[in-house]
Amino acid sequence: MNIQDYLSRIRFDGIPSLSSETLHALQLAHMKTVPAQRIWHSFGRTIKLDIESLWDKIIIRKRGGFCYELNGMFAWLLKEIGFEVTYLNAR
């Protein structure tokens, strides 16, 4: 797993840095290219949230995912770049 594969998946062609501009650009690129999908959840299938499974589904197979999958994968990217990430749960 490497950052460049992720950046290619979301069609981000900039140089990532620890800036609000980069964060905004990454968020926008991710939202435009990785769809929110609940189909697996609707069929009662098991959803794996480990980073290897997320990588395979979202980056390799170019699928979307539900909120925990998308946010987990995006958090991985941000941490790899050097951002501090805090996980929060909300209802």
Give the model confidence (pLDDT) of 9-58 as tens digits: 999 999 999 999 999 999 999 999 999 987 766 666 788 899 999 999 99
Query: What's the pLDDT at 69?
Result: 95
* Domain enclosing residue 76, as ranges: 35-91
H-only helix segments in 1-91: 3-9, 20-33, 39-42, 51-54, 67-81
pLDDT of residue 80 exceeding 90, the answer is: yes
Contact 7, 21 (CB under 8 A): no
Q: Is 28 within the bounds of a domain?
A: no
Greater confidence (85 vs 91) lies with 85
* For range 45-74, the mean pLDDT: 93
For residue 68, being part of any structural domain is answered with yes
In a domain, residue 63? The reply is yes
Task: State the total domains in the chain.
Answer: 1
Cα(46)–Cα(84) distance, rounded to whole angstroms?
29
pTM, rounded to two decimals? 0.89
The reply to whether 85 falls in a domain is yes
